[in-house]
Amino acid sequence: MNETSFVEAARHLAQRSMREADEVDGRLERAFRLVLVRKPNQVERSTLRSLLASQRTHFGDRPEEAAKLLGVGASPPDGSLDPVE
């Protein structure tokens, strides 16, 4: 799953979700629905929130790692979005 194409695809999924929903739950649900074609249940939603919180903390403390991850792949990242987010 760390193959360049998977990382780049995940970035595009995240960028799309961020552009199409304003609040966290909406973004998580949008990404989940795009991949699995259904809404997340309560356990899945809780797991996604926890993962998002831990990743925000990790990349918030290490913005250079966020920038490096966003640079993976051939397409450029969306510069209008917060790299840590």
Element (H, E) at 46: helix 42-61
Which pLDDT score, from 0 to 100, does residue 83 have? Answer: 94
Query: What residues of the chain score a pLDDT lower than 70?
Result: none
Which pLDDT score, from 0 to 100, does residue 1 have? Answer: 72
Distance of CA 45 to CAs 5, 9, 12, 38, 79, Å? 26, 21, 20, 12, 28
Between CA 33 and CA 29 the distance in angstroms is 6
Q: Which residues contact 46 (CB under 8 A, 6 or more apart)?
A: none
Which pLDDT score, from 0 to 100, does residue 56 have? Answer: 97
Q: What is the pTM of this model?
A: 0.90
Which pLDDT score, from 0 to 100, does residue 2 have? Answer: 77
Between CA 2 and CA 53 the distance in angstroms is 21
Q: Answer whether 63's CB lies under 8 Å from 83's CB.
A: yes
Which pLDDT score, from 0 to 100, does residue 4 have? Answer: 96
